Chain A
Amino acid sequence: MAIEEQKTRKWSPALVIAIVVIVILAGALGWALLQISAPAPQQINYPIGLAIATTGPTYATDGPIRRDAALLAIDQMNAQLEAAGSPVRFQSIHEDTAGTPDGATRAFNALAAAGVRVVVGPLSTGEVSAIRDFATQNKIVSISPSSTGVAAAIPNDYVFRAPPTDIPQSKALAQLIDELGFTKVAIIARNDDYGKGFSDLFESTFETRYGGQVTRIAYDPATQDLATEVQQLASDVQTLGPGANTAVLMVAFEGDGLEILGEARLSTVLANVRWFGSESTRRTAFLNQSAVPDIVQFLRDVQFTGFFASPSLNPVSVAFEQAYVAKYPTRDPKKSPYSYYSYDSARLAMLAILAAGKYDGEAAAKMLPIVASTYLGASGHKLMDANGDAIAADYTAWRVALDANNKAFYQEFARWVFASETLEFFP
Chain B
Amino acid sequence: MVELAGPLLLSVLMGSQYTMMALGLTMTYAITRVPNFAHAEFVTVGGYAAVAFVNVLGGGLIESLLGGFLAGAIVAMLSDELVFKPLFRRGATPLHLLVASIGVGLVIRYVLSIVVASYDFLVVKSRINKEILFSIGTAPFTNLHAWVLPTTFAVVIALHALFTQTRMGKAMRAMASNFDLARVAGIRTAQVRRWTWFLAGGLAGVGGAFWVVNVPVQPETGWGLLLWLFAASILGGFVSFWGTIVGGFVVGFAENLGISAVHDTFGVSLSYRPMIALVIIVLVFLIRPQGVTGLTMPDFRALIRKWFARFGAARGRS
Asked whether any CB of A lies within 8 Å of a CB of B in the complex, the reply is: yes
For B156-184 the 0/1 string (1 means CB < 8 A from A) is 00000000000000000000000110010
Q: Is the CB of B274 within 8 A of A223?
A: yes
Stretch at the interface among B80-88, B231-239, B283-291: B80-88
Q: Which of B117, B140, B183 contacts A64 (CB 8 A)?
A: B117
Q: Is the CB of B125 within 8 A of A258?
A: yes
The A250-276 residues at the B interface (CB cut-off 8 A) are 254-255, 258-259, 262-263, 266-267, 269
For residue A61, which residues in chain B have a CB less than 8 angstroms away from its CB?
Answer: 122-123, 218
> Is B317 close to A, CB under 8 A?
no
For residue B89, which residues in chain A have a CB less than 8 angstroms away from its CB?
Answer: 2, 4-5
> Is A227 close to B, CB under 8 A?
yes
The A1-54 residues at the B interface (CB cut-off 8 A) are 1-5, 12-14, 16-17
For residue A217, which residues in chain B have a CB less than 8 angstroms away from its CB?
Answer: 269-270
For residue B10, which residues in chain A have a CB less than 8 angstroms away from its CB?
Answer: 227-228, 231
Q: Which of A13, A218, A266 contacts B271 (CB 8 A)?
A: A218
Q: Is the CB of B140 within 8 A of A234?
A: no
For residue A225, which residues in chain B have a CB less than 8 angstroms away from its CB?
Answer: 14, 214-215
Expressed in whole angstroms, the Cα–Cα distance for A324 and B117 within the complex equals 16
> Is A330 close to B, CB under 8 A?
yes
Expressed in whole angstroms, the Cα–Cα distance for A294 and B132 within the complex equals 13
For residue B216, which residues in chain A have a CB less than 8 angstroms away from its CB?
Answer: 255, 258-259
For B211-223 the 0/1 string (1 means CB < 8 A from A) is 1001110111100
For B114-140 the 0/1 string (1 means CB < 8 A from A) is 000101101111010111100000101
Expressed in whole angstroms, the Cα–Cα distance for A266 and B138 within the complex equals 11
Expressed in whole angstroms, the Cα–Cα distance for A267 and B140 within the complex equals 8
Expressed in whole angstroms, the Cα–Cα distance for A269 and B135 within the complex equals 13
For residue B224, which residues in chain A have a CB less than 8 angstroms away from its CB?
Answer: 57, 222, 224
Expressed in whole angstroms, the Cα–Cα distance for A217 and B259 within the complex equals 13
> Is A403 close to B, CB under 8 A?
no
Least Cβ distance of A421 to chain B in Å? 32
> Is A78 close to B, CB under 8 A?
no
Q: Is the CB of A232 within 8 A of B260?
A: yes
For residue A291, which residues in chain B have a CB less than 8 angstroms away from its CB?
Answer: 55, 124-125, 127
Q: From DSSP, what is the main secondary structure of chain B's interface residues?
A: helix
Least Cβ distance of A273 to chain B in Å? 15
- What is the interface size of chain B, counting residues whose CB is below 8 A from a CB of the partner? 56
Task: Give the interface size bracket for A toward B.
Answer: 35 or more
Given known A-B contacts A57-B224, A259-B215, A2 and B7 have beta carbons under 8 A apart: no
> Is A245 close to B, CB under 8 A?
no
Expressed in whole angstroms, the Cα–Cα distance for A17 and B140 within the complex equals 49
Q: Is the CB of A228 within 8 A of B260?
A: yes
Given known A-B contacts A2-B179, A232-B260, A259-B215, A254 and B86 have beta carbons under 8 A apart: no
Least Cβ distance of B81 to chain A in Å? 7
For residue B259, which residues in chain A have a CB less than 8 angstroms away from its CB?
Answer: 228
> Is A307 close to B, CB under 8 A?
no
For residue B113, which residues in chain A have a CB less than 8 angstroms away from its CB?
Answer: 55, 60
Expressed in whole angstroms, the Cα–Cα distance for A294 and B219 within the complex equals 24
For residue A64, which residues in chain B have a CB less than 8 angstroms away from its CB?
Answer: 117, 122
Q: Is the CB of A228 within 8 A of B91?
A: no
Expressed in whole angstroms, the Cα–Cα distance for A224 and B229 within the complex equals 14
Expressed in whole angstroms, the Cα–Cα distance for A60 and B113 within the complex equals 9
Q: What are 17 A-B contacts defined by CB distance under 8 Å?
A: A2-B88, A2-B90, A4-B91, A13-B86, A17-B82, A218-B269, A218-B270, A219-B271, A220-B273, A223-B273, A225-B14, A234-B138, A254-B123, A262-B129, A262-B130, A266-B140, A330-B120
Interface residues of B (CB under 8 A from A): 3, 6-7, 10, 14, 55, 81-83, 85-86, 88-91, 93, 113, 117, 119-120, 122-125, 127, 129-132, 138, 140, 142, 179-180, 183, 211, 214-216, 218-221, 224-225, 255-256, 259-260, 263, 269-274
Identify 14 new A-B residue pairs, CB closer than 8 A, beyond the known A55-B220, A224-B215, A294-B129: A3-B183, A13-B81, A14-B86, A17-B83, A57-B224, A219-B270, A224-B211, A224-B221, A225-B214, A227-B214, A235-B3, A258-B215, A262-B129, A266-B132
